Amino acid sequence: MAKTAVKVGKLIDGNGGPVIDRGVVVIDGKRIAAVGSQSEVTIPPDATIIDEPGLTAMPGMMDLHLHIAQFNTLTFRNYRVAQFEVSPELQQLYALFHAQLCFERGFTTLRDEGLMSTRGLLTEHTIAVRDAIALGVFAGPRIIVSAFTVGTGSHLDLILPRAMLRNPAATADGVDEMRKLARQNLLRGADWLKTCASGGGGTDKESPQVRNHTQDELNAVCDEAHAQHAYCSIHCFTPQSQAMAIEAGADTIEHMVFHSDEMIEAIVSHGIPVCPTLLHRTDHAIEVRRTIGTPQFTLDKMKKIQPFTFETFAAMQKAGVKIFMGTDMGQEPDMGSNAMELEIYVKLGMTPMEAILTTTRNAAEAVHLDEDLGTLDVGKYADLLLVDGNPAEDITVLQPRENIKAVMKEGKIYVDRRKGSEKDVIDVEYASWALADG
């Protein structure tokens, strides 16, 4: 097995402690063999040395709520046109491309939170992308697939136009059908199931407090996931829906948006991690949405819920909710710019180091991958980044693509933008591609 020693000016190990000056990570094959200060760690004589005293090493980042098969603004112009003009097969190829856009910006693990196309669920399409990358056929991030397991007319069904003829196999109603759809998704190879307990920002004209499923249906989805050692994530906007998700045994709560003190207390006491997806709520996101055919009522609603979302985040942070990073990236702002989410967390009260933890250690814990991922510790996979700047001082240094100097996954360097190197996973000139619905 090839050994590599990565020597850096600063080392952030993802455990939240002080930044280590003049650090080193020793990698043996796919995993970390030693880590710490250069004065304390012995570098094996047969190791290849990477010496970058001007750079910071940190664990690969994770975006654990996004939709890679969604019509991204980088590859589509109008999502409503794209819904009808793009086949699921083309969407699948874009899913790979979108995953790579995140990967080359430092995101080594993604949890895809599912999608539906005009022809039905995209579960198998996303799973094939996940597997092609895992098999090493394509370069890209590790993908966790969370498959839509939802009822007719639920928030996630309404991502498609109301008047559209639907594939009846894409949704389920009643406990038995819900169990069957859950089992089918798990049979196809889903790692997680994704369901919804309330309406959302883009689909309901009035209050998002719409009961999407009965308690029995939600319980059935979570129960099927757990029966097969998989997990269940539940979209919730309102305290009523949060209560239903807790009762069902949700493994993660997505969005939150509105809160009550009572629900925050319950989430803390149950230890359920929450993914806030704030980038999706910014003025920038609203403007991007405006350009891609989003109805005015949705834009108005996004603006209206924005302050509640930010208040809820601050309240969760104060109460000690386990927060992990997700962007809801799909339609907006731009696939690959995911690290902008962390800047919002800092603006709302986290320290830069706390924000880093949401996308490293705490993220890995939220999806039960912390034995292998999330920190630079001995025995874990060598998923690491070399960054120009110190994100523990300035979280925004993680945003520009030119600052992400190297991306390593399981000990292999996939992106290398250091002096004299020009290695990337995307082999077309950036933004030279045509729009699929152009």
Question: Which position among 63, 104, 112, 113 is part of the footprint of Zn ion (CB under 5 A)?
Answer: 113
Residue whose CB is less far from Zn ion, 113 or 341: 113
Say if strands 20-28 and 31-37 run parallel, antiparallel, or are unpaired. antiparallel
| DSSP letter for each residue of 374-416 | SS--TTSB--EEEEES-TTT-GGGGSSGGGEEEEEETTEEEEE
**Helix (H, G, I), strand (E, B), or coil: what is residue 295?**
coil
**How many alpha carbons fall within 13 Å on the CB side of residue 154?**
28
Size of the site for Zn ion (CB under 5 A): 2
Q: Binding to Zn ion by residue 341, rule CB under 5 A?
A: no
**Helix (H, G, I), strand (E, B), or coil: what is residue 74?**
coil
Residue whose CB is less far from Zn ion, 74 or 159: 159
Q: In this chain, which stretch among 71-79, 94-102, 107-115, 169-177 interacts with Zn ion, using CB under 5 A?
A: 107-115
Residue whose CB is less far from Zn ion, 280 or 417: 280
From CA 285, how far away is CA 113, in angstroms rounded?
A: 19
Of residues 25 through 84, those in contact with Zn ion by CB under 5 A are none
Q: How far is the CB of 66 from Zn ion (least distance, A)?
A: 7
Q: How far is the CB of 173 from Zn ion (least distance, A)?
A: 22
Q: In this chain, which stretch among 5-13, 51-59, 96-104, 327-335 interacts with Zn ion, using CB under 5 A?
A: 327-335
Residue whose CB is less far from Zn ion, 200 or 389: 200
Q: How far is the CB of 345 from Zn ion (least distance, A)?
A: 18
Residue whose CB is less far from Zn ion, 13 or 328: 328
Residue 51, φ and ψ in degrees, nearest 5 = -120, 110
| Closest-CA residue to 257 (of 278, 237, 277) | 237
Residue whose CB is less far from Zn ion, 151 or 411: 151
Residue whose CB is less far from Zn ion, 331 or 403: 331
Q: How far is CA 180 from the centre of its chain?
A: 27
- Torsional sign, CA 154, 112, 310, 236: positive
Q: Binding to Zn ion by residue 328, rule CB under 5 A?
A: yes
Q: How far is the CB of 105 from Zn ion (least distance, A)?
A: 19
Q: How far is the CB of 197 from Zn ion (least distance, A)?
A: 13
Tokens standing for residue 82: 């794209």
Q: In this chain, which stretch among 20-28, 113-121, 179-187, 218-226 interacts with Zn ion, using CB under 5 A?
A: 113-121
Say if strands 107-112 and 31-37 run parallel, antiparallel, or are unpaired. unpaired
Q: How far is the CB of 65 from Zn ion (least distance, A)?
A: 6
Q: Binding to Zn ion by residue 437, rule CB under 5 A?
A: no
Residue nearest to Zn ion (CB): 328
From CA 326, how far away is CA 88, in angstroms rounded?
A: 24
| Closest-CA residue to 56 (of 26, 21, 28, 32) | 21
- Give the DSSP H/E element, type plus range, for residue 418: none
Q: How far is the CB of 200 from Zn ion (least distance, A)?
A: 8
Q: How far is the CB of 235 from Zn ion (least distance, A)?
A: 7
Q: Binding to Zn ion by residue 251, rule CB under 5 A?
A: no
Tell me which residue has tokens 């025995």. 379
- The DSSP bridge partners found for residue 25 are 6, 35
Tokens standing for residue 229: 């050692």
Q: How far is the CB of 385 from Zn ion (least distance, A)?
A: 25
* Whether the Cβ atoms of residue 418 and residue 52 lie closer than 8 Å to each other: yes
Which stretches of the chain bind Zn ion, using CB under 5 A? 113, 328
